[in-house]
């Protein structure tokens, strides 16, 4: 099938590359000429495991192309995916100017029947607004608007796309439904469902799913905080809860809050949608408030340990990305930790396997970026672990202890066994578990 993907951000690039991998002819469009030139030269602009292999193969074999010319892509395509940014406004609403702007342009370009797909995460009712924007200049017989929300997890997005748990498609058109079913059929050969519904329900499904997952995270963070006060162990509680088939094991790990491009924005947008309908979605308000507090949990612990006086202290920071296996730092808890530490007069020595260039663009020389995790420890008064990269899971504890000024670790991801930390001689403060080595 002939596909155009408008926007080559995280969702657009993964979508275009994976569709090309199943034999489709894909043209990706972006207004950034420099970015398009780099992609044409084989450079993948984001870090995502396995994406580079598919990108190179499909570009080399001619199924994946890049252009700044929207008309070229429109003339080629029978399906156009809109994978454009929907940044949150000050009130939490999703900004649709990019999507609606492109939709108006498409209305003056489409000359044959085309399915226009909202791949971006958009509020309920966006499909109707995109339809109206297209219909300003285009006969309604020449297009259908479909909602096809993405459920990609950064770090495993390629696998998620090629082997989805489910595909959600919102449309009221039999013609569009048949085309979308044909497009996605190769991805669900193992029997996972393609779920068809109306457009508004598909739009709501994405927000509901992400907001529920964010709720689980915030709930477990509250349980963890209570465990610390009550003397319980959140790891034991998590295992006891997760063994209940009604609850399940996933998204029950406590930490320093959620971040990234989806959860913070989508929870805010769903709360804003509720407000537009005069509905007080109190759970979501609490979820956001809990997360705002939790992403400063490590900074709180550091200040408590050093007596609220971090001036002149040096803190080693392991992890900058909002989660492992990505270079994405959007709403990353590490950034909030850095801001708090710098504001308190501390110095920060940081390491992350992939995200340092992105953080360097924000902080410049305000913090020290290190070649590896052990260099970050040199001369530091404490270590703070914020992202659970695999390389941090089984470190050389003797080397850590000799590099740090004091054997002090604040672990926001509960990477280490408490007994092992006692044996290694560390002061170790994690999330929802007893402090050891006091």
pLDDT at 308 over 80: no
Task: Give the separation between CA 179 and CA 172, rounded to whole angstroms.
Answer: 13
Strands, E assignment, 38-192:
64-67, 79-82, 114-118, 143-147, 167-170
For residue 59, what pLDDT is reported?
97
Task: Give the separation between CA 371 and CA 283, rounded to whole angstroms.
Answer: 42
Task: Give the separation between CA 224 and CA 147, rounded to whole angstroms.
Answer: 37
Task: Give the separation between CA 418 and CA 408, rounded to whole angstroms.
Answer: 13
Residue 162 token pair: 């090629």
CATH code of domain 295-429: 3.40.50.720
Do 11 and 83 meet the contact criterion of CB atoms below 8 Å apart?
yes
Do 269 and 276 meet the contact criterion of CB atoms below 8 Å apart?
no
Q: At what angle do helices 263-276 and 282-294 cross, to 10 degrees?
A: 150
Q: Which fold does the domain 2-197 belong to in CATH?
A: Rossmann fold (3.40.50)
Give mean pLDDT, residues 131-159.
Answer: 96
Active-site residues, by number, are: 262
Do 2-197 and 295-429 show the same overall fold? yes
Q: How confident is the model at residue 262 (pLDDT cuts 50, 70, 90)?
A: confident
User: Model confidence over 127-136: pLDDT tens digits?
Assistant: 999 999 999 9
For residue 263, what pLDDT is reported?
92
Residue 113 token pair: 């029947």
Mean pLDDT score across all residues of the chain: 96
Q: pTM of the entire structure?
A: 0.91
User: Model confidence over 315-335: pLDDT tens digits?
Assistant: 999 999 999 999 999 999 999
Under DSSP, is residue 351 helix (H, G, I), strand (E, B) or coil?
Answer: strand
Q: Where are the domains of the chain?
A: 2-197, 206-293, 295-429
User: Model confidence over 98-120: pLDDT tens digits?
Assistant: 999 999 999 999 999 999 999 99
Do 185 and 193 meet the contact criterion of CB atoms below 8 Å apart?
no
For residue 101, what pLDDT is reported?
96
For residue 103, what pLDDT is reported?
97
Task: Give the separation between CA 200 and CA 218, rounded to whole angstroms.
Answer: 27
Q: Which fold does the domain 206-293 belong to in CATH?
A: 1.10.1040
User: Model confidence over 60-106: pLDDT tens digits?
Assistant: 999 999 999 999 999 999 999 999 998 887 777 888 999 999 999 99
Task: Give the separation between CA 274 and CA 362, rounded to whole angstroms.
Answer: 34
Q: How confident is the model at residue 142 (pLDDT cuts 50, 70, 90)?
A: very high
Do 7 and 87 meet the contact criterion of CB atoms below 8 Å apart?
no
For residue 344, what pLDDT is reported?
95
pLDDT at 241 over 90: yes
Backbone phi and psi for residue 60, each to the nearest 5 degrees, phi listed first: -60, -35
């Amino acid at each position: 099938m002939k596909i155009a993907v408008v926007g080559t951000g995280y969702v657009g690039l993964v979508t275009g590359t994976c569709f090309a991998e199943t034999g489709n002819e894909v043209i990706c469009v972006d207004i950034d000429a420099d970015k398009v030139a780099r992609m044409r030269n084989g450079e993948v602009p984001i870090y995502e495991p396995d994406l580079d292999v598919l990108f190179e193969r499909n570009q080399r074999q001619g199924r994946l192309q890049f252009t700044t010319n929207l008309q070229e892509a429109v003339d080629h395509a029978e399906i156009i995916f809109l994978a454009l940014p929907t940044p949150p406004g000050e009130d939490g609403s999703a900004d649709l100017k990019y999507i609606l702007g492109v939709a108006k342009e498409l209305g003056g370009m489409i000359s044959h029947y085309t399915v226009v797909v909202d791949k971006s995460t958009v509020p309920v009712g966006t499909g109707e607004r995109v339809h109206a924007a297209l219909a300003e200049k285009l006969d309604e017989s020449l297009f259908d608007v479909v909602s096809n929300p993405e459920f990609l997890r950064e770090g495993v997005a390629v696998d998620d796309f090629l082997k989805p748990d489910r595909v959600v498609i919102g449309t009221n058109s039999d013609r569009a439904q048949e085309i979308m079913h044909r497009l996605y059929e190769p991805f669900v050969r193992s029997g996972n469902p393609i779920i068809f519904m109306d457009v508004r329900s598909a739009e709501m499904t994405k927000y509901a799913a992400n907001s529920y997952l964010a709720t689980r995270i915030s709930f477990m963070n509250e349980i963890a905080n209570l465990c610390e006060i009550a003397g319980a162990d959140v790891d034991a509680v998590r295992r006891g809860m997760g063994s209940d088939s009604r609850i399940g094991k996933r998204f029950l790990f406590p930490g320093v809050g959620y971040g990234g491009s989806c959860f913070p924005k989508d929870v805010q947008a769903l709360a804003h949608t509720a407000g537009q309908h005069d509905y007080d979605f109190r759970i979501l308000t609490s979820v956001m408030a809990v997360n705002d507090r939790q992403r400063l949990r490590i900074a709180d612990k550091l200040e408590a340990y050093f007596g609220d006086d971090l001036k002149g202290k040096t803190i080693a920071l392991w992890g900058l990305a909002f989660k492992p296996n990505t270079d994405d730092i959007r709403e990353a808890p590490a950034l909030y930790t850095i801001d708090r530490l710098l504001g308190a007069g501390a110095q920060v020595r940081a390491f992350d396997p992939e995200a340092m260039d992105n953080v360097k663009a924000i902080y410049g020389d305000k913090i020290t970026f290190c070649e590896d995790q052990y260099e970050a420890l040199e001369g530091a008064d404490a270590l703070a672990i914020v992202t659970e990269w695999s390389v941090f899971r089984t470190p050389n504890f003797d080397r850590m202890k000799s590099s740090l000024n004091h054997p002090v670790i604040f672990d926001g991801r509960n990477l280490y066994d408490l007994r092992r930390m006692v044996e290694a001689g560390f002061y170790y403060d994690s999330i929802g578990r007893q402090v050891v080595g006091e």
